[in-house]
Chains A and B, each alone.
Chain A
């Protein structure tokens, strides 16, 4: 990543914050209980493995480092309808058997490449009226939801928004005609 740019953003944001009369930045990731989901520890661990496959660690931290599985479960526990919570947990429960059938092994034993293939294929499973179709629907729903919230939880995390791509409360003056070719594109 281009740390120079990141640092410049950070300097900008700190400069901006000095202007703000009252601020409270003492914040922690809030971990609500998932009492509506009835998730077991091993299921949560599986979800962690899935989210870390979706966004793995490298030079920059990955989903598991940022406790993204917690975020996913908080969102589903607090912001979903009961109907969608059931579909999600059904999909999560059916996922191990699906992996066994399609990849011949449990998820945690698979190579990274294979894990990625299993998830990508699972997001595209077609639903149907049969029992298998219903299960496929739940698995696809579970994986797409997990992916969506992995992306959101990762990108809207304190780490990403303060250390990697600093979020600015003060975005600066509007420029309505910026040439894309003039934009610096720091590769992160």
Chain B
């Protein structure tokens, strides 16, 4: 590999480098740029410009040759990504195909990735619930992993900061285990969801709640978001194609154009980061080596502050690959724990059913969210035979269908005049906390390389007994709640899905108070190399149950401000 450093060192020097342009990277870059820091943002994938690069966004159903179904040929070539619910004809171009970035599955793990400017922020499910102190207290109270070095109170102002800018719709629910935030008007639950809410109150008092899930969609304060070039969510539910309205938060619609407008951001797509450069004399990281995705040539970029936000497992990969005499096992990896204590969210089970009541009602229009159960198990104290608990999604729906049993003119008339309502369908899925363990790890393969010459990542992550017990409890409890609400034809399913398909992989470079047992300090700096920050999923000490992206945004904003304050000392 040629070392192509034709440009002078000065031209390749910035005040900060952010690796990764997804949710956490773009937030770090946006904050740094707002604070006047000349920032280089490096992205391994191609550029995706807001609106211009959303080729399917306004396509009508009949314009998709296979009506949005993935062809067998693509499925056969991509057994991993084909399992993802959103990998369809309309959004396949935003997903990494299996052969593009191979990895070693020591145990089965579906690693779902989006390599482009904006990363997975184009594809995410946009659910944004805050953590509470109950969540941060988990490891210390229950004796697993290590104690979180930050508290809810420290993060709360940063949650507010990112919620305001990203746009979060929700209701003030007043729940201690799911703190309220800076909300735009929330979305309404439908008549059966409200009925279920009432039944929960009747049977469980104040112990269990089902609320309208907070989501990163603009549902108010249009004038404020116009400054970002974004308008109100149109309820299209075509988010995975990229939204021409900027109705939901993505890096592409929000933080990146904002940072570019400041004049402080330089965006470098098509650059696969190889490693962080460590200067032994200075005792600091001084920049990154990148591999040009097209020419495969290596180039170096320099800055006094580095943010590694490549998405959880790729951040592990980069730092493990950043070796030097001082750090032979990965940058800042003095304790040998880098890549270990990886965890995820347990999405294995769902419960569905029907409801014969409220038969006079249906729904109309669209909404970008549905119901959400904050965790109700083991919140105040340990009360079950498993640690921690689960959140759950919930929704009820009903629409007119046609009777397709006939043929000929009868069938045609039925198809064109759907009037069969049937009962309401209700459904729920679990989002369980998994316990980080040393035996759940990622590491570099000693021999295998990817098409860029990088070592392949070995992934060794699995469920444990706690997950099995928790899954069983979710099914029992949700079934019981469904029964109490008078739902019928209740069906539970544990699909035993492979970890990874939750797309909530976390950890490996965890935060903690003690450099002996953690990699990052309370400010997201590597203990041993404090000018390197990690604010994506890799930093997670434990997983709790909330969809994690909002927390990464808050981490990134908080750490960016810390970095700027430090640089002025």
Contacts and interface: CB of A to CB of B under 8 A. Distances in A.
Physical interaction between A and B: yes
Interface of A: 1, 16-17, 19-25, 27, 29-30, 32, 53-56, 58, 60, 62, 74-75, 78-81, 112, 116, 119-120, 147, 151-152, 154-158, 160-162, 164-165, 167, 169-181, 183, 185, 187-188
Given A171-B235, A171-B236, A21 B51 contact: yes
B95 to A, nearest CB: 18
A20 B247 CA distance: 12
Contact of A78 (B73, B188, B244, B421): B73
A178 B364 CA distance: 7
Given A74-B66, A174-B235, A20 B244 contact: yes
A79 B408 contact: no
Interface stretch (B26-34, B54-62, B115-123, B380-388): B54-62
Interface stretch (B136-144, B189-197, B315-323): B189-197
A173 B235 contact: yes
A22 B408 contact: no
A21 B49 CA distance: 13
Contact of B58 (A24, A29, A116, A180): A24
Contacts of B409: 56, 58
Interface in B306-365: 360-365
B446 interface: no
Contacts of B360: 179-181
A120 B54 CA distance: 43
Contacts of A25: 58, 60, 63
Contact of B190 (A155, A177, A188): A177
Given A60-B412, A78-B73, A175-B363, 5 more contacts: A22-B58, A27-B60, A152-B67, A175-B364, A176-B191
B51 A22 contact: yes
Contacts of A112: 408
Interface of B: 51-52, 54-55, 57-63, 65-67, 69-73, 187-191, 193-194, 234-238, 244-245, 360-367, 404, 407-409, 411-413, 415-417, 419, 421
B404 A151 contact: yes
Give the top 3 A-B pairs by smallest Cβ distance, nearest first. A176-B190, A174-B367, A177-B191
A58 to B, nearest CB: 7
Nearest to B409: A56
Contacts of A162: 60
Given A170-B234, A177-B190, A180-B361, A75 B417 contact: no
Given A172-B364, A181-B360, A74 B235 contact: no
Contacts of B73: 78
A120 B411 CA distance: 12
Contact of A174 (B57, B67, B187): B187
A172 B60 contact: no
Given A161-B60, A167-B60, A174 B363 contact: yes
Chain B contact residues: helix, strand, loop or mixed? loop
Contacts of A27: 59-60, 62-63
Contacts of A170: 234-236
A32 B65 contact: yes
A21 B365 contact: no
B55 to A, nearest CB: 8
B61 A156 contact: yes
A185 B236 CA distance: 24
A20 B58 contact: yes
B364 A169 contact: no
Nearest to B369: A174
Contact of B66 (A78, A155, A169): A78
Nearest to A52: B408
B189 A176 contact: yes
A150 to B, nearest CB: 9
A22 B366 contact: no
A19 B402 CA distance: 32
A119 B406 CA distance: 10
Nearest to B367: A174
Contacts of A178: 361-364
A171 to B, nearest CB: 4
Given A1-B416, A27-B63, A167-B61, A174 B71 contact: no
A30 B58 contact: no
A38 to B, nearest CB: 16
Nearest to B418: A165
Contact of B69 (A79, A120, A171): A79
Nearest to B69: A79
Contacts of B364: 171-172, 174-175, 178
Nearest to A71: B67
A156 B62 contact: yes
Contact of A176 (B63, B363, B417): B363
B65 to A, nearest CB: 4
Nearest to B68: A156
A157 B62 contact: yes
Contacts of B72: 78-81
Most buried by B among A78, A158, A160: A78
Contacts of B407: 53-54, 116, 119-120, 147
A177 B361 contact: yes
Contacts of A165: 416
B65 A55 contact: no
B408 A53 contact: yes
Contacts of A158: 60, 62
25 contacts: A22-B244, A24-B59, A27-B62, A29-B62, A56-B408, A58-B409, A60-B412, A78-B66, A79-B72, A116-B408, A151-B411, A152-B67, A155-B415, A158-B62, A167-B61, A169-B236, A172-B235, A172-B365, A176-B188, A176-B193, A177-B191, A177-B361, A181-B360, A187-B417, A188-B413
Nearest to B234: A170
Given A32-B65, A74-B65, A169-B60, A180 B362 contact: yes
Contact of B366 (A16, A30, A171, A179): A171
Contacts of B191: 176-177
B197 to A, nearest CB: 12
B136 to A, nearest CB: 34
A179 B58 CA distance: 31
Nearest to A155: B415
A52 B496 CA distance: 43
Nearest to B235: A171
Nearest to B54: A22
B244 A21 contact: yes
B186 to A, nearest CB: 11
A78 B73 CA distance: 7
